[in-house]
Amino acid sequence: MTMCKGAAQGVEYLHKQSCIHMDLAARNCLYSEDKMVKISDFGLSRLGTSYTIRGARKMPIKWLAPETIKSFTFSLKTDVFSYGVMVYEIFTNGNEPWDGYTNAEVKKGVRSIGFYSAMNLVKFSTS
């Protein structure tokens, strides 16, 4: 819980600065010995409240909000969705979302089936 709270505080700070991270994931959170979370890897981040990617770019599809997968538009709200996926990673001991599916399968599922139906495809781990 401490990790989740620390990451949420980091996201809140970024959003108060009108910074969209665009790549929130456990792999981009540093956790110190004194249990502080620092969000890292700002390579995709943008200042503003909305940003649309134009042209091909490698993206973390499995962490993206459905609307981002469909339109390539990011917002502060889509960061919050990615934060939720990161919480899933933390509570499943690092399991990748959509485990067993390729990025292409995830994109196709979200675009054609819709998010809530597509989530039924996720294999939740009990380990």
Residue 53 lies in a domain: yes
Query: pLDDT by residue for the chain (127 residues), tens digit each?
Result: 888 999 999 999 999 999 999 999 999 999 999 989 999 999 999 999 999 998 777 888 899 988 898 889 999 999 999 999 999 888 888 888 888 888 888 888 877 766 544 455 454 434 4
The answer to whether residue 127 is domain-embedded is no
Number of other CB atoms surrounding residue 68 within 10 Å? 23
Phi, psi of 103, deg, nearest 5: -60, -40
- Which residues are known catalytic residues? 23
Q: What is the CATH number of the domain that holds 18?
A: 1.10.510.10
Tell me if 13 is assigned to some domain.
Answer: yes
pTM of the model: 0.82
**Whether 97 contacts 122, CB under 8 Å:** yes
CA distances, 122 to each of 73, 85, 109 (Å): 24, 12, 11
Q: Total structural domains in the chain?
A: 1
Position 88 in a domain: yes
Q: List the domain range (segments joined by +) for residue 19.
A: 2-119
